[in-house]
């Protein structure tokens, strides 16, 4: 695996170096303030109706787009390699790139030194998000899953989860998903029907759903742990 892909995966999982602050993905920011920050990007990029390639590629439809995929744009070798290795622009990867472009893509030609303030990054991402399709699906990007459900034995579906154990296990989930059920750029899982939760998690586990971080998270969980999480979030009231 190339060095760049290792960096991409580390950042997508929130495992950047010691100096990296927590990404601002739980609460996407204010697009109005983001439009003010966008002014500094507009010298190189265009966005909106009629946007074309300039010094940088156009940024319409950025969320869910594979890196280096705008036709005929002369990307750097490093950016093309990152795209070939699977880098896709999501809330997490864009946040990492805006914070420090050369850490995510070592040979990028983007001259921007990075935006240290997490709130400013969130505001800019909220602005950019307005120009992507199906924003409610971000950061996973549509389609969120293939049509088929995972194949599960009835015994797995019938497991009675322990809500108290689910609460104990839930801390990793709630780094992104809000316990109060609010949707701040990442869909709510609070009060989901337990069967729906179990099927979704096993769809990640069986690689039917594409989000790489969720595949990794689900792959660590046993059937009993998934059932416990389903019971906890399914009964979590306002």
Q: In the 8-state DSSP scheme, what is residue 145?
A: S
8 with 116, same domain? yes
In this structure, the answer to whether residues 128 and 197 fall within a common structural domain is no
State CA 137 to chain mean position distance. 10
110 and 11 within one domain: yes
Domain containing residue 11: CATH number: 1.10.760.10
**Into how many domains does the chain fold?**
2
Give yes or no: residues 71 and 170 share one domain.
no
Residue range 220-227: average pLDDT?
A: 94
CB 204 within 8 A of CB 218: yes
In this structure, are 121 and 177 located in the same domain? no
**Does residue 200 form part of some domain?**
yes
* Residue where a domain stops, chosen among 89, 105, 137: 137
Say if residue 180 is in the same domain as residue 205: yes
Above 80 in pLDDT, residue 147?
no
- The neighbour count for residue 111, using CB atoms within 10 Å, is 10
Are 159 and 205 in contact by the 8 Å Cβ rule? The answer is no
Q: Is 133 part of any domain?
A: yes
Boundary (domain end) residue, out of 109, 137, 165:
137
Residue 66, strand partner residues: 88
Euclidean distance between CA atoms 72 and 90, whole angstroms = 22
Its domain, for residue 214, covers 154-234
Give the pLDDT confidence of 182-214 residue by residue, as tens digits: 766 667 788 888 988 898 888 888 877 667 778
Q: Is residue 77 part of a domain?
A: yes
Both 58 and 166 in one domain: the answer is: no
Domain final position from 112, 137, 162 = 137
Closest CA to 223 of 147, 146, 144, 160: 160
**Is 189 inside a domain boundary?**
yes
DSSP letter at 88? B
Per the structure block, which two tokens stand in for 161? 């989860």
Tell me if 144 is assigned to some domain.
Answer: no
> Does one domain contain both 12 and 116?
yes
40: preceding bond cis by omega (within 30 degrees)? no
Q: What pLDDT is recorded for position 6?
A: 37
8 pLDDT above the threshold of 70:
no
Instruction: Tell me what pLDDT residue 27 has.
Output: 52
172 and 132 housed in the same domain: no
Q: Are residues 56 and 12 in the same domain?
A: yes
Cβ pair 191, 181 in contact under 8 A: yes
* 149 located within any domain: no
Q: What is the mean pLDDT of residues 111-126?
A: 90
Q: Specify the residue for token string 């998903």.
A: 177
My answer on whether 131 and 13 are in the same domain is: yes
Which pLDDT tens digit goes with each residue over 46-102?
A: 998 899 999 999 999 998 899 999 999 999 988 998 888 888 898 888 988 998 888
100's CB contacts (< 8 A; 6+ apart) are: 114
């Amino acid at each position: 695996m190339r060095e760049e892909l290792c960096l991409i995966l580390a950042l997508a999982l929130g495992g950047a170096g010691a100096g990296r602050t927590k990404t601002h993905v739980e609460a996407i920011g204010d697009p109005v303030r983001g439009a003010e920050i966008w002014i500094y990007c507009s010298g190189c990029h265009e966005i909106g109706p009629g946007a074309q390639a300039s010094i940088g590629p156009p940024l319409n439809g950025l969320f869910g787009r594979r890196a280096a995929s705008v036709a005929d744009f002369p990307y750097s070798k490093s950016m093309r390699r990152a795209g070939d290795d699977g880098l896709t622009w999501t809330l997490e990867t864009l946040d990492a790139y805006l914070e420090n472009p050369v850490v995510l893509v070592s040979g990028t030609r983007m001259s921007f030194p990075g935006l240290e303030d997490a709130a400013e990054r969130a505001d800019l991402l909220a602005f950019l998000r307005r120009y992507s399709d199906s924003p409610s699906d971000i950061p996973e990007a549509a389609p969120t899953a293939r049509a088929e459900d995972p194949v599960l034995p009835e015994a797995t579906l019938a497991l009675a989860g322990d809500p108290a154990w689910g609460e104990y296990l839930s801390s990793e989930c709630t780094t992104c998903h809000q316990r109060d059920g609010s949707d701040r750029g990442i869909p709510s899982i609070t009060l989901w029907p337990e069967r729906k939760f179990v099927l979704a998690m096993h769809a990640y586990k069986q690689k039917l759903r594409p989000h790489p971080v969720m595949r990794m998270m689900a792959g660590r969980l046993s059937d009993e742990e998934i059932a416990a999480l389903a019971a906890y979030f399914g009964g979590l009231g306002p």
